[in-house]
A and B are shown apart, each in its own frame.
Chain A
């Protein structure tokens, strides 16, 4: 079965760092882009960026460039999304998804709550 499994919910304080993960299985992880999507509470989907695990080619939405870092470790079929200094406005659900013609396989989502 093709699936993406994300790491669990996180509760952090402003200024803390965080790295969440997305592990792929059931397909060739290095042959598909992995995208990250933010959904703030009660809001729509926002495309953050994308990585090709085969060569780590990474592209960011201008809205998220410099705010987050997307990376991947192809040896363990895992993509990451990280923050160096969280803000309260980073509170959201974050999804990873396999991306080729659209995003066809999604992770279950990781809730990130940033609160003092």
Chain B
């Protein structure tokens, strides 16, 4: 099974900061990688798919990059409403769409 490992597990940053979260796959998954945001008590929301394609309606301060085994989610200027847990997910086959363990983002 392909494992998805996110880092860091948690981070604290200031409003306006550039924030980067990484996701590493144990084997290559091309660009079959999605990012989700889950605010406390809410349903997860798709932010990015195909590693770098912004889902409709998602603010442009969010961006994704990477291919193969290493991926990043970047928030260019952190806003208070971005407090959430972020998950990556691979979907390169119908067999296992594994999620990363999550990164909890807080405001300093």
Which of B18-26, B36-44, B65-73, B75-83 sits within the interface? B36-44
Pick from A11-19, A43-51, A70-78 the stretch touching chain B.
Answer: A43-51
Mark interface residues in A65-107 (1 if CB within 8 Å of B CB, else 0).
0000000000000000000000000000001010101111011
A45:B36 contact, CB within 8 angstroms:
yes
Q: Are A101 and B44 in contact (CB under 8 A)?
A: no
| B55–A104 CB distance below 8 A | yes
Name the interface residues of B57-101: CB closer than 8 Å to any CB of A. 85, 87, 89, 91, 94-101
What secondary structure prevails in chain A residues at the interface with B? strand
Contact between A101 and B94 (Cβ–Cβ < 8 Å)? no
Chain A residues whose CB sits within 8 angstroms of the CB of B99 once the complex forms: 37, 44-47
Task: Identify which of B38, B97, B100 contacts A99 (C-beta below 8 A).
Answer: B97
Q: Check if B34 is an interface residue, CB within 8 A of chain A.
A: yes
B49 touches A102 (CB 8 A): yes
Q: Looking at the complex, which one of B46, B87, B94 makes contact with A104 (CB distance below 8 Å)?
A: B46
Q: B44 to A33, Cβ gap below 8 A?
A: no
What 10 A-B pairs are tightest by C-beta distance, nearest first?
A102-B34, A102-B49, A101-B49, A44-B102, A45-B99, A47-B97, A106-B43, A104-B46, A102-B46, A59-B94
Interface positions of A (Cβ within 8 A of B): 33, 35, 37, 44-47, 50, 57, 59, 61-62, 95, 97, 99, 101-104, 106-109
Besides A62-B1, A99-B97, 13 more A-B contacts (Cβ < 8 Å) are A44-B87, A47-B89, A47-B98, A50-B97, A59-B95, A95-B44, A101-B34, A101-B50, A102-B55, A102-B91, A104-B55, A106-B45, A109-B43
